[in-house]
Amino acid sequence: MLSILKHRAFRHMFAAQVIAITGTGLATVALGLIAYDLAGADAAMVLGIALTIKMLSYVTLAPIAAALATQYPRRSWLVSLDIIRAMVALALPFVSEIWQIYVLIFVMQAASAGFAPAFQATIPDILPDEDDYTNALSLSRLAFDLESLLSPALAALLLTLVAAESLFFGTALGFVASAFLVVSVALPSPSPGTAHGFYDRTTLGIRIYLRTPRLRGLLGLSAAAAAISSLVIINTVVIIRAELGLGEHQVALALASFGAGSMIAAFALPRILPQFTDRAVMMAGAGLAILAQIGLAIGTTAYGPSLWAVLVSWLLSGLGYSTILTPSGRLLKRSAAAPDRPAVFAAQFTLSHGCWLVTYPLAGWSMSRFGMAPSLLLLSAIACLGLIYAQRQWPAKGDRQPVSPNRSDK
């Protein structure tokens, strides 16, 4: 997997990604502390609204940003968005009203909605070999998992030395460093796509996506992944603290178990994917995660909640979750011609975050309203529906040719 770092362009882009997501992790911790200073006991509501704003901006703005991105050199586009995010990070320590947090978060996430799909669409251009690209996807997944584990620890260490507001300056430095790394390499500029006019460019990715069976299957699997991960992200604290009566260390251990499962998949997939179809691997991952969470629900109902049962279920859930997500870039790459690829990546960005926009509040509501086992069963049922939809929409045998927005991939 690490052998792909010999590619200079990818090495610099990967370093930019790692630095930027680490800075974002620091900002997440600092934002929670500032929200508590401003809102006190209502800090959870403030953060919940901020998360909703983030998801809404991703869902609504990514296709628009993808249409705009085709009009500018890709390197200039990415650097400009990094600079905007750095400026927002520098402004966050000076907020004095809650509404200011909401405005700045919207601006930052709007920039991220433009940055992430363009960044993701660049990687297959600089790594045309499919094995190299698979390794890049696994390495990227590993970076996200490590960030989720290490950023809180890094933030805790820094908070012993500096005030919470200073973490935002670390975030800004991360975005500036990301911009410098992007500038340091030559990137392919976007070619003219098949769509003309702003409306056509804005809807191009969605039209290609919904007319491609394998991508409709990916949408079902994205819904399954969202249901699986929402249970973990939203409900772990309540399960460990309220249901089991344990402490913060056990919460961290449970989240680490999910992350460990995801990292195991990231290491294993470059060896597995050449031997099996993406469809078989991704659906097996979804099935594994669903069975793990249904098993936890049944065990909890029969014998009561258990920390070991949660840890095993979260480990298998993380393994399945990463097995769904990591190969998705391969499907997007082969489902559109190079000029249309940024639009298709933006469509996946929009639709997958739309799934989380539904499953995040549903996970929280079901846990508070019905408890642990019913919440597990409800979200598992949604994941099952996503898997069934994927199986029906994505034929076991399909061609590997890109599609135009004017025909379906049969």
Question: What does DSSP assign to residue 2?
Answer: G
The angle subtended at Cα 183 by Cα 169 and Cα 148, nearest 5°, is: 45
Structural domain 1-183, CATH architecture? Up-down Bundle (1.20)
User: Which of the listed CATH numbers 1.20.1250.20, 1.10.10.10, 3.40.50.1980, 3.40.47.10 matches domain 196-395?
Assistant: 1.20.1250.20
Cα–Cα–Cα angle for 304, 310, 312, rounded to 5 degrees: 125
pLDDT digits (tens, 9 = 90+) for 82-141: 999 899 989 988 888 888 888 888 888 888 888 877 787 788 888 888 788 888 877 787
Q: Mean per-residue pLDDT for 250-277?
A: 87
Q: Determine the Cα–Cα distance for residues 281 and 390; give it in Å rounded to an integer.
A: 13
- Cα end-to-end span (Å), the chain: 33
Give me the residue spans of the domains in the chain: 1-183, 196-395
Q: CA 50, CA 332: separation in Å to the nearest integer?
A: 29
Question: How confident is the model at residue 150, as a pLDDT?
Answer: 66
Q: Which of 152-156, 212-216, 251-255 has the highest mean pLDDT?
A: 212-216
Angle 302-307-313 from CA coordinates, rounded to 5°: 75
Cα 224 from Cα 57, distance rounded (Å)? 22
Is pLDDT of 44 > 60?
no
pLDDT of residue 342: 80
Give the separation between CA 160 and CA 269, rounded to whole angstroms.
39
> What are 66-87's pLDDT values in tens digits?
777 777 787 888 899 899 989 9
Q: What distance in Å separates the CA atoms of residue 406 and residue 339, rounded to the nearest whole number?
A: 15
Neighbours of 71 (CB within 10 A): 10
Task: Work out the percent of the chain whose per-residue pLDDT is above 70.
Answer: 87
- The predicted structure's pLDDT at residue 174: 87
Q: Which amino acid is at 251?
A: V
Give tens-digit pLDDT for 217-247. 999 999 999 999 888 888 888 888 888 888 7
DSSP for 227-296 reads HHHHHHHHHHHHIIIIIS---HHHHHHHHHHHHHHHHHHHHHHHHHTTTS-HHHHHHHHHHHHHHHHHHH
More confident: 231 or 191:
231
| Orientation angle between helical segments 248-272 and 130-159, nearest 10 degrees | 160
Residues near 274 by Cβ (< 8 Å), separated by ≥ 6? 131, 134
| The pLDDT of residue 380 is above 50 | yes
Confidence of residue 41 (pLDDT cuts 50, 70, 90): low
- pLDDT band for position 194 (50/70/90)? low
- Asked whether the whole model's pTM tops 0.85, one would answer no
Other C-beta atoms closer than 10 Å to the C-beta of 81 total: 26
What is the pLDDT of the chain when averaged over all its residues?
A: 83
pLDDT tens for each residue of 298-347: 999 999 889 999 999 999 999 999 999 988 888 988 888 777 888 888 88
Rounded distance between C-alpha atoms, residue 297 and residue 376, angstroms: 6
Let me know if the fold of 1-183 is the same as that of 196-395.
yes
